[in-house]
Each structure stands twice: as structure tokens, then as C-alpha cells.
Amino acid sequence: MNTGSATIGAIITIICVLPFLFMYMSKTKKKKTALQTLQQLASKHDCKISQYDFLDHMVIGIDTDKKCLFFTKKENDENTNQFIDLQTVSMCYPNKALRTIIVSDKKKNSVIERVELCFESKTNNVLPTTFELYNEKDNVQLRTEILLSDKWANLINAQLA
């Protein structure tokens, strides 16, 4: 009886732990693949990633020596890769696009539609370049994109100074 109970307990424990183990392994693989994509993009521009941040669907990284910024985002099995030479940028700022929803006669709520990092060019007639971190249409839930946009705007502006 004792051996049978121990075996059943071990099997139940394994069954409970396996889904979490598979999720962890999947997330680690996804992160490794995204980082490799970012590093390949950097190597095409003869750069090396010195600092990066990862979110489920994207990676942003910077080469602080050559002042280049790299961004890769995967949505719907499609990769979006972007590169910016920070020497052509005058400033960086986070942008949050909001829309208002009327809940009742007296109450209105604001909903974030998009979170972006915007880059103003040193050339006046060039439109700002953007890295879209969050889009309400593509992502169900806003996670840490706002914090990430603020962090990277500060980091990039420190590189520009």
C-alpha cells in the first residue's frame, strides 16, 4: 500500500508540474529566438547588442558604442525588424495614443490604443520614426509596455546627450 501511494503521488506531481515546465521551456525558446534575430539584425549593421529588453512578442536592444538601436517584433508569424542610427536622432519620447469611451452620462474612461517610442530626426523635414510596442488591435492585454517605453526613452536620450 505504501509503495502504491508513493507511486500515485509521484505520478500526480509529475502531471501537475509538466505543463509549467513546458510553458517555461517554450518561453525560453521564444526569447532565445527573438534575441538571435535581434543580434543578426545588429551584426548586419556591424554592431553588437550591449543592452536589451524582452517582452513576449518583441525585443529592443542598443549598441552603446556605435549608438545604434534595434527593434524586432513578431506578430502573426511575421517579423518586423527596425534599425535607427541614433546619431541622426535629436530626441526620443514615448507616445501613448488614447481614446475615450463614454461609460455613462457622467463617466468617461480613457483606453490606451497604442504605445510607441518616437524618434525625432535632426533633419527638420523628416517624419518621426516609431517603434510600436503595443497596439490594442494586435495585443489583448497591456503589460509593461508603458514602463518599457519610458525606460528606453530615458536610456536613448542619455545616449543622445
Query: Model-level pTM greater than 0.75?
Result: yes
Sequence letter at residue 126:
V
Q: Check residue 64 and report its DSSP letter.
A: T
Q: Tell me what pLDDT residue 1 has.
A: 55
Dihedral sign from CA coordinates of 138, 90, 61, 159: negative
Q: Tell me what pLDDT residue 48 has.
A: 92
pLDDT digit of tens for each residue in the chain (161 aa)? 588 888 888 899 989 999 999 999 988 888 888 888 888 889 999 889 999 988 878 899 999 889 899 998 887 778 888 899 998 888 999 999 888 887 777 788 888 888 999 998 888 777 888 888 888 887 778 888 889 999 999 999 988 87
Q: Tell me what pLDDT residue 31 has.
A: 86
Q: Tell me what pLDDT residue 98 has.
A: 85
The phi-psi region of residue 76 (left if phi > 0; otherwise alpha if psi is between -120 and 50; otherwise beta) is left
Nearest Cα residue to 96 out of 79, 110, 81, 80: 110
Beta bridge partners of 83: 70
